[in-house]
């Protein structure tokens, strides 16, 4: 009995260090998991900071190959090489004068590297005495210049205009998208549609907006690649959910920036031309006129006579248009006058008969 108790106590004493060792190992494993989670969060913060730094560097218009090498260095975790430092370049071969940038190395850069993003648009109001012909000419012009109609609206005479005898002049408005290389040629060809009473052009420089959006898009794509790499190495469900949440935000920004760049490219490549065509009876004279005193008097008399003629012409038209109504009014007036005369005659007869009876009654009474 004593011998068995001694064996049991020895066994417990031998197992105690092993249990303590297992407990220590479990504690160390928990600390390792906590440390891994902390390192993952720190890596996410460092990624966001690196993307923000790359966005700021791109927004500051880091030229040429320096920006790409800098991003490559960031993605690889190293510093940019000195050989990729920016070089100041000019489209011409002339270097700045002494006292400026003359001591810096000068290299010729192609003009395409400095191409700006400019959106062109134009407005034009046109008078036409042949409305249908002008619309056909505009349709042929759109086809010949490779343009397309984005929006159109044509209005003409309605029932109210016809009922009240108004001039049924028509009008049309178009929003046309024309390729940038054909923009100037199409503006010059608008004079074939009629008399241009108003024309204006507008240019909007969106280079800064385009560059900023493009830089942010590149930064977001780099961030997306890093998050995908982290997602492959994630061990716990919590880490995967955190990374996927951040990844969805980054992908939403990528889609938004891509859509914005596409919209800017479309507006730059296809200029907008807003055309309004109005049907008129006579075109407005646009040429500058230098008349003598006698010529101005003669021109004034012509305008006065033209106005008087238009007045009588319009009065005659209104008379003819409203002739049925006038005939009915005339018939009604004639009938009313005839009835009135008959009533008056009857009243006079009655009055004369009553006065005759009174005269006959007076001698008999005497």
Q: What is the pLDDT of residue 350?
A: 80
Q: What is the pLDDT of residue 307?
A: 85
Global model pTM greater than 0.85:
no
Least confident of 203-207, 317-321, 327-331: 317-321
Q: What is the pLDDT of residues 334-351, one digit of tens each?
A: 999 989 888 888 888 887
Judge whether residue 1 has pLDDT over 50.
no
108 strand-pairing partners: 90
Judge whether residue 227 has pLDDT over 50.
yes
Work out the widest C-alpha separation in the chain, in whole angstroms.
Answer: 187
Q: What is the pLDDT of residue 109?
A: 39
Mean pLDDT computed over 247-269:
94
Q: What is the pLDDT of residue 67?
A: 40
Q: State how far Cα 123 lies from the chain centre.
A: 15
Q: Which is higher by pLDDT, 314 or 135?
A: 135
pLDDT above 70 as % of the chain: 62
Judge whether residue 175 has pLDDT over 80.
yes
Q: What is the pLDDT of residue 267?
A: 94
Judge whether residue 130 has pLDDT over 50.
yes
Least confident of 37-41, 92-96, 309-313: 92-96
Judge whether residue 138 has pLDDT over 50.
yes
Q: Nearest-CA neighbor of 289 among 278, 276, 277, 298?
A: 298
Query: Which residue carries 């490779």 as its tokens?
Result: 146
Mean pLDDT computed over 256-260:
95
Band of residue 353 on the pLDDT scale cut at 50, 70, 90: confident
pLDDT above 90 as % of the chain: 42
Q: What is the pLDDT of residue 70?
A: 37
Least confident of 147-161, 185-199, 261-275: 147-161
Mean pLDDT computed over 185-195:
93
Judge whether residue 122 has pLDDT over 50.
yes
How buried is 251 (Cβ within 10 angstroms: 0-12 exposed, 13-18 middle, 19+ buried)?
Answer: middle
Q: State how far Cα 151 lies from the chain centre.
A: 12
Judge whether residue 262 has pLDDT over 50.
yes
Q: Which is higher by pLDDT, 81 or 232?
A: 232
**C-alpha to C-alpha distance for 273 and 145, rounded to whole angstroms:** 12
Q: What is the pLDDT of residue 317?
A: 80
Judge whether residue 52 has pLDDT over 60.
no
Q: What is the pLDDT of residue 309?
A: 85
Least confident of 36-45, 63-72, 236-245, 307-316: 63-72
**Hey, how many other C-beta atoms are within 10 angstroms of the C-beta on 98?**
8
Q: Which is higher by pLDDT, 222 or 311?
A: 222
**C-alpha to C-alpha distance for 122 and 134, rounded to whole angstroms:** 19
Q: Which is higher by pLDDT, 58 or 180?
A: 180
Angle at CA 336, nearest 5°, toward 331 and 337?
A: 100
Band of residue 254 on the pLDDT scale cut at 50, 70, 90: very high
Least confident of 49-53, 259-263, 304-308: 49-53
Q: What is the pLDDT of residue 72?
A: 46
């Amino acid at each position: 009995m004593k011998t068995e108790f001694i064996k049991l106590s020895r066994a417990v004493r031998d197992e105690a260090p092993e249990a303590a060792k297992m407990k220590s190992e479990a504690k160390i494993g928990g600390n390792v998991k906590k440390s891994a989670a902390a390192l993952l969060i720190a890596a996410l913060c460092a990624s966001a900071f690196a993307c923000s730094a790359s966005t700021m560097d791109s927004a500051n218009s880091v030229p040429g190959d320096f920006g790409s090498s800098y991003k490559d260095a960031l993605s690889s975790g190293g510093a940019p090489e000195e050989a990729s430092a920016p070089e100041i370049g000019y489209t011409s071969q002339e270097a700045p004068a002494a006292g400026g940038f003359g001591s810096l190395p000068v290299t010729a850069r192609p003009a395409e590297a400095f191409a700006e993003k400019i959106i062109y648009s134009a407005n034009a109001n046109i008078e036409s005495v042949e409305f249908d012909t002008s619309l056909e000419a505009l349709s042929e012009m759109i086809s010949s210049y490779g343009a397309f109609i984005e929006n159109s609206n044509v209005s003409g005479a309605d029932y109210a205009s016809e009922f009240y005898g108004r001039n049924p002049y028509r009008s049309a408005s178009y929003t046309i998208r024309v390729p940038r290389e054909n923009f100037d040629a199409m503006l010059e060809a608008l004079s074939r549609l009629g008399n241009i009473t108003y024309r204006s052009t507008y240019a909007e420089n969106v280079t800064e907006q385009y560059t900023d959006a493009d830089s942010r898009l590149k930064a977001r794509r780099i961030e997306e690649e890093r998050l995908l790499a982290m997602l492959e190495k994630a061990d716990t469900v919590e880490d995967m959910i955190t990374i996927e949440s951040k990844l969805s935000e980054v992908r939403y920004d990528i889609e938004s920036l891509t859509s914005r760049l596409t919209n800017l490219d479309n507006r730059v490549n296809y200029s907008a031309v807003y055309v309004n065509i109005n049907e008129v009876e006579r075109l407005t004279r646009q040429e500058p006129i230098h008349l003598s005193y006698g010529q101005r008097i003669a021109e004034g008399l012509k305008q006065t006579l033209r106005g008087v003629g238009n007045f009588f012409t319009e009065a005659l038209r209104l008379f003819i248009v409203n002739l049925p109504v006038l005939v009915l009014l005339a018939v009604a007036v004639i009938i009313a006058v005839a009835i009135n005369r008959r009533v008056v005659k009857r009243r006079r007869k009655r009055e004369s008969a009553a006065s005759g009876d009174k005269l006959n009654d007076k001698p008999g009474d005497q």
